[in-house]
Each structure stands twice: as structure tokens, then as C-alpha cells.
Amino acid sequence: MTVHERYADPAARLGVANDTIALQLAHRSVRRFTDRPVSDDELYAIVAAAQSAATSSNLQAWSVVAVRDRARKARLAELAGGQAFIDQAPLFLVWVADLSRARRLAARAGARLDGADYLESTILGFVDTALAAQNAVVAAESLGLGTVFVGAIRNRPREVAAELGLPDHAVATFGLAVGTPDPTEDAGIKPRLPQDVVLHHEQYSDPAETDRLIEGYDAALEAYNTRHGLTGGWSDRVVGRLAGPESLSGRDKLRDELAHLGWPSR
């Protein structure tokens, strides 16, 4: 059962399950794809699913740019830290937090839109975009496609905006490589933290108790990584990823970059 793999625990059980939950439990990142294109029909179904996600106040504050052109994918791959699978994937979706439509509506109406300048609106745009993209992932996987999110699209926001011709008040939040998984890729279902670490009832659980469970998870994730040619557990990864500005791959300047793109985030 995929629930065993998801928690790296042969005793893990689900009291209820269905095909949708099974699909979600089987999610993994795919970084190697076959040459089969993603059809327009598949793309439109994926976007329809994305548009069916919840959206704050029905603002629908996101857009998505579908990139198939090989040269453009290669340029985006370089901007995102040289990740070759972006170039190799038949479809690369760049998800855009987008208040430009609202700005244009206000300009045509001669109305104020000062609320768009505040951090709340930035968060709203990013949350709306993430909700839509996750719906898209589930839809893609239901069609037999594989995906992987690419946060490194935020490494160089201005260059990405120029490459995609984004208007002011629109910013690329992350990418999503999409394609048919290459069956020869050495990958599996990566274990997640035990539910008792992340699930709290009524109030936040005693951190001392939940943190004790992380030791076992570190061992499980290290074993998974070893099987797939990687190293280390979870705790070291967390600390290393958040160690300081130098570990953020240029994203330590993101507030300034957002302001330059029309998101002042007061």
C-alpha cells in the first residue's frame, strides 16, 4: 500500500480510502520524462482543474504560462539554477501570482486599488497560485503524467518576467515540469513526517513530544535517500536550507525584486 511508503511504516493504515486519496498518496516528484508531448487536450483539462481550486474572494489572482518551446525552456532552466529536467520536460508551466488584471480593471474604472500594495495582497496572490497549481498536479497525475515543482524560478524574478513578457504586477512564483514519467528513473514515494508531528487536536501539541518523533523520521528518510543515491536525513536538510541568506540562492532579495515588479508588499 502507498500509505506504508508515504510514512515509511509497514503498520500505517487508513480507515477510509478511495481512488483520489490513493492517487495523492502515490505522488512523487518526476525529473525524467519520455519524449511524448503533453497534448492540448491534456493541458486544457489540467488548467480547468486548476481553475476549480478555491480562490480568495473569487479574485482569481493567478495566471499560468505554458512553455513548450525548447529554446525558451533552456533559458528558463538556466535562470532556475541550471536544472536540466526543465529543458527536457515536454511542458513547463510557470505559475504567476497576478494582480495585473485587477490593476487594469481599476485603471479603466478610475478607481483606487491601494489595497494591492500590502503584504496581505501578496500573500493572497501566492496562496491562490499555489492552490491552483496543486489542483493541476492532481489532475495531471490522474492522466498518467508526472510533475515536479520548481521553486528556483524565483531565483531571478526580473529575468524570468522578461523572458515570459509578464506585465507589471505579475510575478512568477514557481514552475511545474510536466510529462510522461520515464519508467527508468530511480525514484520512489518519499516518506513524510509522521502525522503525530503535523496533526494537532484543538491546540498545538507539546513540541517536546512531537520533536522526539523526528529522530525516527530522520532515519527513515536517510534510508530512502541512500536507496536512491542521495545522502542525509531531514533535520540536516532543514537546517542547511534555511541557514542564512547564502542558502537562499538569491531569494534573500525577493522583497526588493517583488517591489520592482509592482508588488511593494507594505
Could you tell me where the beta strands, DSSP code E, fall in the chain? Answer: 62-67, 91-98, 146-150, 170-179
* pLDDT tens sequence across 161-220: 999 999 999 999 999 999 999 999 988 899 999 999 999 999 999 999 999 999 999 999
Q: What is the pTM of this model?
A: 0.95
- CB-side exposure of 138: number of CA atoms within 13 Å? 18
Report, as an integer, the average pLDDT of 82-92: 96
Q: Are 221 and 235 in contact (CB under 8 A)?
A: no
* pLDDT tens sequence across 11-49: 888 999 999 999 999 999 999 999 999 999 999 999 999
Show me where the domains of the chain are located.
29-185+251-260
**CATH number among 3.10.129.10, 3.40.109.10, 1.10.10.60, 3.30.1360.170, domain 29-185+251-260:** 3.40.109.10
Give me the amino acid identity at 170: A
* Strand 91-98 with 170-179, pairing: antiparallel
